[in-house]
Amino acid sequence: MRDPALDGLSAPPGGLGWVIRHEAPDGLHEASVTQIGATLRTYTIDGRPLISGFAAEQVRPAYRGAVLMPWPNRVRDGRYSFGGTDRQLALTEPQRLTAMHGLVCWQRWEPAMEGSSRVSCETTLFPQQGWDWTLTCRMTYALDDDGLRVTAWVRNESDTAAPFGYSLHPYLTCGEASVDELELSLPAARTLGVDPERLLPEADTIAASLRDVDAATDLRAGPALAGRSLDTAYTDLRADPDGRWRAVLSHPPSGARTVLWAPATDLPWVQVFSGDALPEPARRRTGVALEPMTCGPDALATGEGLITLNPGQEWSTTWGLSG
């Protein structure tokens, strides 16, 4: 159904919007999605937010809930080579001289399927500066008794193979006033060492930049986030018997928790951002970004972990959120 939060807005910055609902044993699940970027704007259970989203009248801030295709994270200097051809992307993060978070997050997506508890949106990514391929992209958001399922699907419509990576950028919350009230459990054994100024791999390759987690970055035991500043890519994620890794954000004062799960084979990376670089009053007060990723930062340039989509080939994955 149309998002009722748009009522009275003559020109909502997110375009059309949809709300899906499902009455589950643990309460009413409700999520909203915007047309611009197929953005996951809100997700609540009985009114408790599981993601820290934004108002319908706002332009989406800080990539909250954004779909990141055909690459997540950053590309150094916007330069990469694929199929023997060098390419130059527009620099969308000029202060760090990087091309950031793909090409579809400000595109208009059209509804492909609507239901009471499920909505799908599609867009076509056409060739442009630094990008030579046509991709059909679809995002599906579905609610059931287990929570929210997010399915990404893409097909290469071009005559040549295309490079590809994916992520989505939710800021998880337990309804806290500050990130310092939270604990985070993440079963990751390694992180990517980065240049602190540009947040790009510190060595020539991703593999050479990997390091074991240390006291500041080890989240396997579910430590408190107070005193931890994170804008860190994690990998070597231990899967549970069902093949999924799980990140658990907990709020001890209330007992609330938010869980993100993802298939370890499809999404072997996750970026964790504690919000220290956000402007006030959002700094460390508007959730913790956890971005499940197919590949690490600068993968479009290094090729490490990058998916190659042959002509006509499709790719899909599903991950989810629960309380």
Q: Which domains does the chain have, with CATH numbers?
A: 4-322 (2.70.98.10)
User: For residues 213 and 235, is the Cβ–Cβ distance under 8 A?
Assistant: no
- Tens of pLDDT, residue by residue, the chain (323 residues): 888 888 888 889 999 999 999 999 999 999 999 999 999 999 999 999 999 999 999 999 999 999 999 999 999 999 999 999 999 999 999 999 999 999 999 999 999 999 999 999 999 999 999 999 999 999 999 999 999 999 999 999 999 999 999 999 999 999 999 999 999 999 999 999 999 999 999 999 999 999 999 999 999 999 999 999 999 999 999 999 999 999 999 999 999 999 999 999 999 999 999 999 999 999 999 999 999 999 999 999 999 999 999 999 999 999 999 99
Burial tier of 89 (Cβ tally within 10 Å: 0-12, 13-18, 19+)? buried
Q: What is the pTM of this model?
A: 0.96
Going by their DSSP bridges, the two strands 269-273 and 231-237 should be labelled as antiparallel
Residues 6+ apart with CB under 8 A from 173: 49, 50, 51, 52, 249, 258, 286, 287, 288
